[in-house]
Structure 1
Amino acid sequence: MPAAAPTWDPQQYLRHAGHRSRPFLDLLARVPELPAADRPPRVADLGCGPGNATRLLADRWPTAHITGFDNSPEMLARADELAGPTVGGGRLDFAPADATDWTPPPGTYDLILSNATLQWVPGHSDSFPAWIAALTPGGTFAFQVPGNFDAPSHVLMRDLAASPRWRDRLGDVLRHGDAVLPPGAYLERLADLGCEVDAWETTYQHLLQGADPALDWVKGTGLRPVLTALADDRGATEAFLAEYAELLRVAYPRTTHGTVFPFRRVFAVARKAGDA
């Protein structure tokens, strides 16, 4: 039986909002100007989460109609608090959608952006042709995904879940190292669709504070499938977290300045052929 879709906790996710927003801003800085038109720009944020990053799009395109999409009711409930007119005369709204089968009509958007979402979608690059088709000529598809599935945080998580104590309950709930592609593979696939592509990777050196900050980070994202699978058993949840936290303390030791948490991310910005 397939593992249940993870449930999300917006409050936990936002505990590291500053660090999590940095890749979004770096991605946004590389997005070119959108096609000129006699209407406000149309922008889609696929996997918008709690909307804290989505609203930053209105700073770049004040008149745009921006729609954030997500498949988590918990995240959308938090994001809806931000919906409404923007100060530049545009509009921000949110709607349910799943990136596994989201296919807007051709020519719908001037920008489709996805921030730290596609790693949850197996075979997501197979959707690239439909998403590029959904852009207006000269429009842009831009995304970033974590590229840290071989980092200690994820390797230790997978190893622990597959250990004799936990494998019956957790053996099939976590993603593996091939959840995302290398930058060059994204570049090639998008270039094959006739796009002008900029692809790169960056490893951020996040300096985290507090007790067990690496655990606190992954509780908001990568650990969600485990927390979902064990949600009905508080004792098991606490036992897994205690084992995992001990492993993380060794892999990410505290220093006099805090805990250094390296995090690799993969980026791609693809501009569709046509008038800018």
Structure 2
Amino acid sequence: MWDPTTYLRYGDERSRPFHDLLARVPAARPRAVVDLGCGPGNLTATLAARWPDSRVAGLDSSPEMVAQATATATAPGVSFAVGDVRHWRPEPDVDVVVSNAVLQWVPGHRELLTRWARELPTGAWLAVQVPGNFDAPSHRALREVAGRPAWRADVAPLLRRPPADDTAVGYADLLTGAGCVVDAWETTYVHLLPAPADADHPVLSWLEGTALRPVRAALDAAGWSDFRAELGVRLAEAYPVRHAQVHFPFRRVFFVARIGARAEENL
């Protein structure tokens, strides 16, 4: 179960990659825009502001997120629905598809990307951002704690594995092979997270909004408290507090693909 409030605890840091991704999509007047994995809808609203004449739709697998998005939606013509991105298929007028920090949750999403490249209309834009931090100290600490005897059976199998294409080069190669012209890049953001003395370590709080969700769901209250405490110690060692803040590097992978554009170039 997703908790919109927990997820938005670091809303500014989580939204910056979305804006950097959209800055590289030059679509002028798309007929329809779809936000796959729209979360609480706050970023979907920016799509409606950029393309006010377009039909904008958000899709998310979490009923809690969609309820939040629907309750707070103010832009006219924006709709939200519960759905699985693995089953989504584009309507003929979808000219822009955005997927921000979603596909890392979907095993085997290479096949999804190539299918979307086949099914989207020629000239459409596919814009994707995925975290590339699976080898960061935060995730190494999470795997180490999950591998302890007390939690190995219940928790370790729940942790996400790195995507097969965890580089901009890998995604560029995949979609170029699908006939797209691709703009791909990587960025490491250094988030400066406030670390109040009377609060949890900020990287622990960050992970509670994403990677720790399945762990919390699998453990009872006592088990979660123990797991959280041990992980917190390891995170404090990996990310020391300096000047009342923590430097939290976060690598992300981006790619923007123009559907069918390679074939057009070769005409």
TM-score after normalising by structure 2:
0.92
Of the three residues 20, 24, 33, the one matched with 1:26 is 20
For residues 103-252 of structure 1, what are the structure 2 equivalents within 5 Å?
103-105=89-91, 107-178=92-163, 180-210=165-195, 211=199, 212-230=201-219, 233-252=220-239
Of the three residues 75, 87, 91, the one matched with 2:65 is 75
For residues 25-44 of structure 1, what are the structure 2 equivalents within 5 Å?
25-34=19-28, 41-44=31-34
Query: Which letter does structure 1 place at the counterpart of 2:258?
Result: R
| Structure 2 spans left out of the alignment, 5+ residues | none
* Aligned alpha-carbon RMSD (Å): 1.6
The separation in 1 between residues aligned to 2:182 and 2:43, in whole angstroms, is 23
The separation in 1 between residues aligned to 2:214 and 2:25, in whole angstroms, is 32
Match of 1:95 in 2: 81
- What whole-Å deviation, never above 9, does each CA across 1:98-133 have from its counterpart, x for those lacking one? 12222234x341001100000000010111232123
Identify the structure with the greater helix proportion.
Answer: 2
1:9 equivalent in alignment to 2:7 = no
Identical positions, percent: 49
1:65 equivalent in alignment to 2:55 = yes
Match of 2:258 in 1: 271
Deviation at 1:67, TM superposition (A): 0.4
Q: Alignment length, in residue pairs? A: 258
The separation in 2 between residues aligned to 1:41 and 1:248, in whole angstroms, is 46
The separation in 2 between residues aligned to 1:152 and 1:263, in whole angstroms, is 10
Deviation at 1:178, TM superposition (A): 3.7
2:118 and 2:178 in contact (8 A); partners too: no
Of the three residues 35, 50, 75, the one matched with 1:45 is 35
Query: Which letter does structure 1 place at the counterpart of 2:43?
Result: A
1:179–1:240 CA distance, 2 compared to 1 (3 A): farther
1:147 and 1:180 in contact (8 A); partners too: no
1:108 and 1:134 in contact (8 A); partners too: no
The separation in 2 between residues aligned to 1:71 and 1:138, in whole angstroms, is 28
| Structure 1 spans left out of the alignment, 5+ residues | 1-6
Structure 1 counterpart SS, 2:52: coil
- What whole-Å deviation, never above 9, does each CA across 1:32-59 have from its counterpart, x for those lacking one? 224x5xxx62001000011111111112
- What whole-Å deviation, never above 9, does each CA across 1:1-52 have from its counterpart, x for those lacking one? xxxxxx2110000010000000000000001224x5xxx6200100001111
The separation in 2 between residues aligned to 1:30 and 1:234, in whole angstroms, is 44
Deviation at 1:257, TM superposition (A): 5.0
1:139 and 1:272 in contact (8 A); partners too: yes
1:44 and 1:111 in contact (8 A); partners too: yes
- What whole-Å deviation, never above 9, does each CA across 1:79-114 have from its counterpart, x for those lacking one? 11234653xxxx111011112222234x34100110
1:10 and 1:78 in contact (8 A); partners too: yes
- What whole-Å deviation, never above 9, does each CA across 1:146-170 have from its counterpart, x for those lacking one? 0000001111101111111111211
The separation in 1 between residues aligned to 2:164 and 2:70, in whole angstroms, is 29
The separation in 1 between residues aligned to 2:124 and 2:90, in whole angstroms, is 14
The separation in 1 between residues aligned to 2:120 and 2:162, in whole angstroms, is 30
Query: Which letter does structure 1 place at the counterpart of 2:100?
Result: N
